[in-house]
Structure 1
Amino acid sequence: MIPTVQADALLGRLAEALGCPVEIFFPQSTHAAGCTSGDAFPDCDALPTLELLRLWETLREPVSRQRVLAAARQEARTLRAARAEDAAAG
């Protein structure tokens, strides 16, 4: 398991690469409760974020990491576009 300090640093780098705040990796209830990736509260569901960090850590080849980042960036663009459409419609 990645130590909390390392996980937080890695998560920060991922968020920076995506051009988004770190909070996007955590469910709204987790952020609102003031939880961080190192918290052990039952209502903090940081498992998907930690899984992402573990998977990222296993990707040693720059090409592999670039493919993952490209997929994440595309997903973020798709979500932003959908939100913009929803806002314009509503």
Structure 2
Amino acid sequence: MIEQINYTIYKDGEEHSITITPHYETQPNGDIYLTGVFKLTEGNVGLGDIVFDNHLKQWEYTGMGYLNHNDVAEIASFIQVKDADDANNISEV
């Protein structure tokens, strides 16, 4: 997943639109290196990062604030599914 995407969670009866921004580096040859770091924001408020291992299996959350472990686990699962979907939709040339 290299595109920024919004994800909606419902917390205490309220809808929260969380923006997920993947951090990646572009190599000199133009290849994109995915770092496994995803920045979470709501509007202008930074909520921290979800940092995955090399295989996007294990993760940890570096943020503090109103998101609890279950909220972040839901977002992390969404990232894993989205990344798998993106990988399956890449066509070889």
Q: TM-score, normalised by structure 2?
A: 0.33
Q: TM-score, normalised by structure 1?
A: 0.34
Report the structure, 1 or 2, having the larger strand content.
Answer: 2
